[in-house]
Amino acid sequence: MSVIHRRNYAGEHRSPSPTPNIRAASARPAVSAAFPPSWYAASLPEPPALPALRGDVQADVAVLGAGYTGLTAALELAARGQRVVLLEAQRIGWGASGRNGGQALVGYGCEVDELERQLGRDDARRLFDWSRDAVQAMRTRIDRHGIDCHWVEGHASVAIRERHERDLRANCAQLQRHYDYPMQWWDRDTLHAQLDSPRYRAAMFDPLSAHLQPLAYARGLADAARAAGVVIHEDSPVVRIQRGSQPALHTAQGSVRAAHLVVAGNAWLQGLLPELERRIMPVGTYIGASAPLGAPRARALIGNNMAGADTAWALDYFRLSPDHRLLFGGRASYSALPPPGLHGVMQRRMHQVFPQLADVPLEQVWGGYVDITRNRAPHWGRLDGNLYFAQGFSGHGVAAAGLAGEVIAAAIAGQSERLDVFQRLRHAPFPGGRLLRMPLLVAAMSWYKLRDALW
């Protein structure tokens, strides 16, 4: 029995104009003080840039990447008394952590079946419970550090076709029966009382998953980490990772030597650790923000203010913003380029899901990368005994990335039980090497999209 992927696709962002600001998926990120355009960035004041690394420094732990994983690991390690230096190539939250769909979901990018197949039901249950704890840990962290990121609980996985409804209902029963999870089954009438869309037949409602302003959360984590003593350098891309008994992160202007390294670059490793990069694929994903709807119209659209995502392979997902816009995501590019006519395609998909918004345009569209593994399971572990990594969130990383940071921090502190379980998950490299792996994946994804269209 399979559990539907509740993927939280959407990677990079912002523009107050209707023109999307999209970076090609194959381009190396240019170092820049400017934050990528998105509604998320436009709705927040831009903080002053933190100074780049200059010279050689020493720390207990050096962290690569100021996304949720790196920031959470740094915060947890600093709370344990470790001296932590974090290097970010761009700005805090520049990658997927600051541009994603904002849905903090229980579970992982893979189906529970994959966890059971590899680990057995007992350890699969442990991983699932840890993901459930991770959502609560986010809420606790938000409250403890006073992070203003508009946390709202509730998420619905919605079915389009009879096949989707049948599978979704079985999945709901499996999570209730074998994972003691308070999932709710909503028939058509119950769903339509909360979600005004004719497209969906039924829903699996998760009362514990949530949605939030992802960039605000990333910046709040960074503020908390700095207050705990973490030193963060922006505009400091790592050009070389020194491995072995004296590991270090090297930039063009300096280095950080430490007893332990944490690599949290995900889709942006750019050749630094080829043995890890072979096991993930960067996938472009996109999201937009509508013109403001006004409070009455927004409430009529999603009555309980939940987030939602359908169960098609090329899924659509949506939620409301605090200023009563519809944030609508979808599309995924498995090639090196964004889909042609992206803005128009996204707007048409929004109108198909919510035809009553035919007069409402998408004002902004943005996009970027998520990193997927072949089996969509998380790929976390250690290399050389002192280099820790987490990648392969497969579009489901808002809560899981924070869990990865916690698990890695605990392992560095000598409590590796959780990381040891994650490291048992096996991950095959993508076939085809650098030249052919992307075309092969495009062909495979085309089949899944065709299947969704036909039955």
Residue 390's pLDDT is: 98
The answer to whether 316 touches 34, Cβ cutoff 8 Å, is no
Residue 13's pLDDT is: 31
- Cα 250 from chain centroid (whole Å): 27
Residue 9's pLDDT is: 38
Q: Does pTM surpass 0.85?
A: yes
- Cα–Cα nearest to 378, from 397, 357, 355, 359: 397
* Ranges of the chain whose pLDDT falls below 50: 1-33, 443-454
The single-letter code of the amino acid at 251 is: T
